[in-house]
């Protein structure tokens, strides 16, 4: 990956090779409050975002992504950006913010940051739906 054919930023490379908050192994071992799952049938990427919430703040976040380097890096970056934020603050993290944080993805990979954003939105929506039932 050290050759000049690598088209990603150093930050993308770092998050791809050393992803943050990745949920390794059995999902049942992480006691999450809600999960959001999204996918893109065109590229085949799928993202799962698991959130733990305390006092309306994302106290912990884990994820699984089935996809390319951009998808993995985007989800890793998003998890770092969202952890410790209120649910409303986390909803304001958009695809452009993820892309900026990563030092810009190639244009044809920008949709990966959109998927991460959508997975987090879905997890928060599911959390709020469950909270409303209680």
| Catalytic annotation, residues | 43, 112
Residue 101 and residue 81 in contact, taking contact as beta carbons nearer than 8 Å: yes
Q: Specify whether the CB–CB gap between 61 and 52 falls below 8 A.
A: yes
Q: Which of left, alpha, beta for 34 (phi over 0: left; psi -120 to 50: alpha)?
A: beta
Q: Is 99 within 8 Å of 113 (Cβ atoms)? A: yes
Three-class DSSP labels, 21-67: CECCCCHHHCCCCEEEEEECCCCCCEEEEEEEEECCEEEEEEEEEEC
Report the alpha-carbon distance of residue 106 to residue 103 in Å, rounded: 10
């Amino acid at each position: 990956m050290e050759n000049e054919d690598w088209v990603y930023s150093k930050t993308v490379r770092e998050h791809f090779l050393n992803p943050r908050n990745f949920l390794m192994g059995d999902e049942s071992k992480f006691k999450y409050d809600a999960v959001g799952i999204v996918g893109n049938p065109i590229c085949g990427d799928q993202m799962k975002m698991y959130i733990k919430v305390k006092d309306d703040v994302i106290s912990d976040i884990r994820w699984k992504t089935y996809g390319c380097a951009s998808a993995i890096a985007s989800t890793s970056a998003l998890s770092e950006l969202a952890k410790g934020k209120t649910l409303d603050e986390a909803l304001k993290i958009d695809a452009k913010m993820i892309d900026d944080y990563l030092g810009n993805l190639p244009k044809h990979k920008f949709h990966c940051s959109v998927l991460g954003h959508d997975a987090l939105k879905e997890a928060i929506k599911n959390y709020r739906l469950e909270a409303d039932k209680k």
